[in-house]
Amino acid sequence: MMVRRKTTLTFLTVLLAGCSSTPSWLGSGGGDTVLDSHQQTVAAGEEALKRAVESSEGDGNTDLDEAIEPSLKLTAENARDRLDAGKPDLEDEAEAEERDLWARLRGGFAMNHEQGDERVQQQLNWYKKHPSYIRRVVERGSRYLHYILDQTEERGLPAEYALLPVVESAFDPFAYSHGRASGLWQFIPGTGKHFGLDQSWWHDDRRDVIAATNAALTYLDQLARRFDGDPTLALAAYNSGGGTVSSAIRRNARQGKPTDYWSLSLPRETRHYVPKLIALAKIFDDPEAYGIELPALADEPYFEVVETGGQIDLAHAAELAGVDVDEIYLLNPSFNRWATRPDGPHRLLVPVANAARFRTGIAAIDPDTRVSWQSYKVRSGDNLGSISRRHGTTPAVLREVNKLNSDLIRVGQQLLIPSARDGRNAYSLSQSQRIARKQESGGRSGSGTRVEHVVKRGDTFWDIAREHGVSVRQVAAWNGMAPGDPLVPGKKLVIWSRDASAATGTAVASANRSGMVRKVGYRVRKGDSLSTIANRFAVNISDIASWNDLNTARYLQPGQSLVLYVDVRNSR
């Protein structure tokens, strides 16, 4: 089977342009901090969907919904209809073939699919055994693929890149990993900020379909240029950081070994990252060869961008467009709350079929009905913190909407507080509702007692997890967080405690409460391993991995900095 080479000239151009200077991967490692990063991005959605597919029986819709971030799962019956509604009609197969997105995708394939590495075959074997996985990611991705492929072609990049969200998030727009990566393209906060993906109480651009896609393709393009046009090295760097890949290349070069991706010693996830994409490309290139039937997907845009002219309540927008509010969230997953952000950009993605109706409706809207506001009269003892907690917002938002220069307020002062038009429960895919359902999900296993914990100054995930006999990652996941996320005093966490005494409030204060636990910075020495460090400080290997977001299959590097929480009575 011939591999398509539509964009080969682009890579040859980049390669030839780089011949006049020393290849960047042989440099000293200086330059752009993001391109030089050693930070590995742990993807969220792909493995979750695989686990769900493996555990499903029959059609498996109920089990498969487990992999769409629990927020989507709990709107199961209606959400299933909406997720599947992304598929085009199959009434006229001949017409569909003429406008088939898969043919266009194949025409842009430019990578070598004939790599004989066993890692590719392992991935192919899994996909062949679980064809429902391919069907499900196509159903999810049908909202986004046309736009992503458009942008990939516009930049002259390999069309295989359009399939990368399958590996990253399984096309779950709300995917959030324990490594703090978010969205279809799984940007971590620092990398997202570098590429202009802003995050606030109102929104997270890492989940914005347009902004995140453009940022991801820009990043991949820059990485490809860094590695002299090699897409496999660019992909590896997207996953584990350009600095990690450059170090592996230099190590092989010093030892006289090949320096291509397939020959490098890379973190475990990165070693399987490119093979997953190659395996997917092979299947999409010739699905019949693997016994897989791709759902037909017309080569037509799914959504249009409509200017809203200002902030608007998402339930009101859905009403104007004639769609369900969940459809608005699925196309605009960056919005955390019940409304678009007040400072813009003022746009919404809506299905093509509803765009004209929405434009007409938004043009005629009464400005006073765009967003609901509640008037609040400040009482004695109030402060912005207490008011914001009672109304589900933040002091920063209250300062912003009331044009306050400080936190100073006076008794009798009138404050405007933004509020949801239809009540928060109507916005099932807003951040607060997604988190609320996550917090309840821990009780479905039937073990553990539900405990609410209000974060106090000095609390850490480790303290809380140890007190309740659960893992750091569990506490974070139950609350829609990652272990590296900051714990803000006053935040309410839900824990499914395995410690009966802690659950009933009779536990003796933990070692940390009595001042026996210290946060320790440790620099890895030559010969150190997670096991030797754990023994030295009387902690668990799994805890060290959680505190530092480490892959336990990856070797520690001398000079690497670790954070440890050590009981000073037990360390050696």
Q: What amino acid positions are annotated as catalytic residues?
A: 168
Binning the chain into helix, strand and coil, the percentages to the nearest 5 are: 50, 10, 40
Distance of alpha carbon 280 from its chain centroid, rounded?
Answer: 20
Which amino acid is present at 245? Answer: V
CA distances (Å), origin 161, targets 10, 113, 126, 157, 268: 14, 13, 21, 7, 21
Give DSSP secondary structure letters for 393-438: --HHHHHHHTT-SSS---TT-EEEEEE-TT-GGG-TTSHHHHHHHH
Total length of the chain? 572
Going by C-alpha positions, the residue among 316, 329, 317, 318 that lies closest to residue 428 is 329
Residue with tokens 């192919």: 124
| Residue 333 preceded by cis peptide, ω within 30 | no
| Residue 351 preceded by cis peptide, ω within 30 | no
Give DSSP secondary structure letters for 360-371: HHHHT--GGGSS
Please give the structure tokens belonging to residue 53: 């597919």
Residue with tokens 């507080």: 417
**Alpha-carbon dihedral sign for residues 419, 423, 428, 432:** positive
DSSP 298: B
Q: CB of 441 within 8 A of CB of 478?
A: yes
Q: CB of 352 within 8 A of CB of 366?
A: no
